[in-house]
Amino acid sequence: MVPKITTLSGYLHEYQKSVANPTGFWANIAETFYWHKKWDKILEWDFHNPKVEWFKGGKLNITENIFERNLFLRGEQKAIIWEPNDPNEAIREFTYNELFVEVQKFANVLKKHGVRKGDRVALYMPMIPELSIAMLACARIGAIHSIVFAGFSAKALAERIIDAEAKVVITADGGYRAHKVLRLKDVVDEALTQCPTISSNIVVKRTGGEVVWNEGVDYWWHDEMEGMEEVAPAEILDAEDPLFILYTSGSTGRPKGVLHTVGGYMIYTAYTFRNVFQYSSGDVFFCAADIGWITGHSYIVYGPLLEGAISVMFEGIPTYPDAGRYWDIIRKHEVNQFYTSPTAIRSLIAEGQEWVQDVNLPSLRVLGTVGEPINEEAWHWYHDHVGDNRCPIVDTWWQTETGGIMISAIAGVIPTKPAFASLPLPGIQPLIVDSEGNKLCGKGVQGNLCIKFPWPGMARSHWGDHKRYVESYFSQYKGLYFTGDGVKRDEDGYYRILGRMDDVINVSGHRLGTAEIENAINEHPLVSESAVVGFPHAIKGQGIYAYVVCTSIPKNAEEELKNSIKIGVSKMISPIARPDQIQFVNGLPKTRSGKIMRRILKKIAAKSTDYGDISTLTNPEIVEEIIEGNHKLIK
Ligand code: WT7
């Protein structure tokens, strides 16, 4: 197991060590894992000509570190506790031994379908144990999983399958979400009409709903698993071989396939899991995210299972059947650490005080949040009512690209402050720069958050597009990884994340590129141009505000047109990307070089009155008109 920091002086000591000698620091942690062969070199890196390699030449398999390494001590201990959407349905539990058997069997199924080391497998699945089993089975045989959140549209799924050139897709007939049944296989069927690289679609029977069956492509999971050989030897990989691709939004164009590699990601998720949440053997850890996002990859599956933890996986949503669902789960499974998002907390606050009034959750020791800045009100509510004033909150800042938590308190070790992610974890060297790239030293400064030294969990590339990786993170400030976030460091040296500085919006902790949404809006036959910005939203953190220029608007059909634009976006991307507000405008404020001045549009959407300098616009008169239109919008 990785070393655990337990005191503030211990943290300061480790941090210092990690900066003075980063390679020695991480090599010590890497030693605690199981390697077939030790690495040739701890670290090779260059942030100017971006390239990062950790533990190159080291040979391993991450699933051997989850299973073979843990079985002797914990074979009969629970690994996953699965809580269904409907609380009346039976829970499913897997010990490490049981999970290992399922993973190996499914690894053999994948092999039978021709999947080999380096091949890509797309997963479009509900939150059921088979999702974890499938991803670990990929890892077992060295296949690269690409999980696509099951809320994405057929078009978005197809785009991701095509980009990764996936060979096999795994899905379910359907999924449950509160009262709703999601017909997942239909979405996959539609996507597959455009995906020539897919030879097999393996389908878990979850809802028993009717499905269209395509002979020769579709296979039932249970048929394939039936009588399958229970042993699948681990494929021995290099530390720098890919583990998975996870698509996320950037400030421009189509989603990018963030690539993580085996060795560094393994060490980083295990280390951050153990330390941030102060996990002790036998604790029950509950991360309420979906495995379709990086939080679920790192803190439902890989981090916890590497550390031999008991991980709760929840299929449903916090308000079904009622707003007490999380507390019921925490009570039922005696959860010790609970990890969720500020949006979930705000949506529960909105459900009313009665759901937390007498809630008594004595098993809880640590609370965590992730995905977006947490406002002080939500922080206090979480702290006082859920944590009963005694559980530390770890506000964990990180990104899909960072692989694991970067800036966060260590529970009970680093004192917390509401709305502050607090201090960098050992091995993480943040640097704040101004817009010209000048280093802002000392305390009480505000600027752009960069990281100046590599850490093992960082993304190595974008799938098939290293150039875009370089442009996305290393082109803004020479020799630094730029996170895209604004940050403030206060008098105590504590970090407060201010939100994205680029054209990315964070809606309920989901990351969306404004360009992506604009492209979807512009597909509408009556739309000629659009500009999308985020605006403050009481529950979602940020909402989506779209300024739309139409070629014509049919008389008295404004609302209808807005609806059809919204439906279009849901179909092209996902309901998550559906604009909250659409304002029809006659033009967009543009600079002389033809660039849309989003700064002004953001201000108008936020109902701010200080628009700054508009003298460089070619069409300053449009601003007044847009402001007027904004005032008239019905909320
Ligand atoms: C962006 C990354 C990391 C898993 C979920 C999101 C924002 C993330 C925090 C936090 C303030 C946060 C940042 C970041 N963010 N955590 N604790 N406080 N902002 O992953 O989709 O890759 O988004 O989420 O803006 O850049 P992601």
Ligand 1 within 6 A of CB of 511: yes
For residue 635, what pLDDT is reported?
A: 55
Distance 314 CA to ligand 1 centre (A): 21
For residue 254, what pLDDT is reported?
A: 83
Which residue out of 369, 425, 485, 500 has the highest number of ligand 1 atoms within 8 Å of its CB and is therefore the one to mutate?
485
Ligand 1 within 6 A of CB of 247: no
Distance 249 CA to ligand 1 centre (A): 12
Q: Is the pLDDT of residue 634 over 80?
A: no
Q: Which is nearest to 269 in space by CA: 405, 70, 395?
A: 405
Ligand 1 within 6 A of CB of 508: no
| Cβ within 8 Å of residue 19, ≥6 positions away | 429
Q: Whose CA is nearest to atom 3 of ligand 1?
A: 399
Contact predicate 560/582, CB 8 Å? no
| Cβ within 8 Å of residue 351, ≥6 positions away | 319, 323
Question: Percent of the chain beyond pLDDT 90?
Answer: 94
Angle between helices 22-30 and 262-276 (to 10 degrees): 90
| Cβ within 8 Å of residue 441, ≥6 positions away | none
Ligand 1 within 6 A of CB of 295: yes
Question: What is the tens place of the pLDDT at every residue in 542-551?
Answer: 999 999 999 9
Q: Is the pLDDT of residue 611 over 90?
A: no
Contact predicate 81/310, CB 8 Å? yes
With residue 627 as reference, give the H or E element that holds it: helix 621-632
Query: Residue written as tokens 């079985």?
Result: 71
For residue 251, what pLDDT is reported?
A: 79
For residue 357, what pLDDT is reported?
A: 86
Distance 416 CA to ligand 1 centre (A): 18
Contact predicate 242/462, CB 8 Å? no
Mean pLDDT in residue range 55-70: 98
Q: Tell me, what DSSP letter sits at residue 392? A: P
Contact predicate 15/424, CB 8 Å? yes
Ligand 1 within 6 A of CB of 506: yes
Whole-angstrom CA distances from 177 to 83, 180, 279, 290, 341 are 13, 5, 30, 12, 18
Distance 572 CA to ligand 1 centre (A): 24
Distance of CA 605 to the CA centre of its chain: 27
| Cβ within 8 Å of residue 241, ≥6 positions away | 117, 118, 142, 261, 262
Distance 375 CA to ligand 1 centre (A): 14
Q: Bridge partners of 447?
A: 487
For residue 218, what pLDDT is reported?
A: 98
Domains of the chain and any CATH numbers: 504-634 (3.30.300.30)
Contact predicate 504/516, CB 8 Å? no
Which residue out of 258, 398, 417, 502 has the highest number of ligand 1 atoms within 8 Å of its CB and is therefore the one to mutate?
398
Nearest-angstrom CA–CA distance, 122 and 246 = 10
Q: Whose CA is nearest to atom 19 of ligand 1?
A: 372
For the CA of 405, the closest atom of ligand 1 is 3
Long-range contacts of 148-151 (CB under 8 A, 24+ apart): 148/122, 148/123, 148/124, 148/247, 148/292, 149/290, 149/292, 149/293, 149/574, 150/124, 150/125, 150/126, 150/175, 150/182, 150/184, 150/290, 150/292, 151/292, 151/574, 151/575, 151/576
- Higher pLDDT pick, 609 / 513: 513
Question: What is the tens place of the pLDDT at every residue in 123-174?
Answer: 999 999 999 999 999 999 999 999 999 999 999 999 999 999 999 999 999 9
Ligand 1 within 6 A of CB of 204: no
Ligand 1 within 6 A of CB of 483: yes
Q: Which is nearest to 580 in space by CA: 559, 598, 592, 566?
A: 566
Query: Residue written as tokens 């942030």?
Result: 47
The rounded radius of gyration (Å) of the Cα atoms in the chain is 24
Question: What is the tens place of the pLDDT at every residue in 481-526?
Answer: 999 999 999 999 999 999 999 999 999 999 999 999 999 999 999 9
Distance 460 CA to ligand 1 centre (A): 19
State the greatest distance between any 2 C-alpha atoms of the chain, in Å, as a whole number.
73
Q: Whose CA is nearest to atom 12 of ligand 1?
A: 372
Nearest-angstrom CA–CA distance, 631 and 627 = 6
Mean pLDDT in residue range 459-468: 97
- Strands 461-462 and 495-500 come out as unpaired
Nearest-angstrom CA–CA distance, 604 and 545 = 10
Ligand 1 within 6 A of CB of 372: yes
Ligand 1 within 6 A of CB of 370: yes
Ligand 1 within 6 A of CB of 507: no
Helix, strand, or coil (residue 585):
coil
CB atoms closer than 10 angstroms to residue 6: 13
- Tokens standing for 601? 């549009």
Q: Is the pLDDT of residue 184 over 70?
A: yes
Distance 538 CA to ligand 1 centre (A): 18
Helices in 91-171 by DSSP H: which ranges? 96-112, 129-141, 154-164
Nearest-angstrom CA–CA distance, 548 and 495 = 37
Ligand 1 within 6 A of CB of 597: no
Distance 509 CA to ligand 1 centre (A): 7
Ligand 1 within 6 A of CB of 497: yes
Amino acid at site 172:
A
Nearest-angstrom CA–CA distance, 52 and 409 = 27
Q: Is the pLDDT of residue 252 over 90?
A: no
Nearest-angstrom CA–CA distance, 241 and 60 = 10
Q: Which is nearest to 295 in space by CA: 170, 402, 427?
A: 402
Q: Is the pLDDT of residue 399 over 90?
A: yes
With residue 76 as reference, give the H or E element that holds it: none
Q: Which is nearest to 394 in space by CA: 371, 360, 362?
A: 371
Question: What is the length of the chain?
Answer: 635
Q: Whose CA is nearest to atom 18 of ligand 1?
A: 373
Whole-angstrom CA distances from 493 to 407, 422, 444, 496, 562 are 12, 8, 8, 10, 46
Mean pLDDT in residue range 625-633: 92
CB atoms closer than 10 angstroms to residue 613: 9
Which residue out of 372, 507, 542 has the highest number of ligand 1 atoms within 8 Å of its CB and is therefore the one to mutate?
372
Which residue out of 297, 497, 498, 508 has the highest number of ligand 1 atoms within 8 Å of its CB and is therefore the one to mutate?
497
Ligand 1 within 6 A of CB of 485: yes
Contact predicate 547/601, CB 8 Å? yes
User: Using 50, 70 and 90 to split pLDDT, how confident is the model at 615?
Assistant: confident
Question: What is the tens place of the pLDDT at every residue in 198-220?
Answer: 999 999 999 999 999 999 999 99
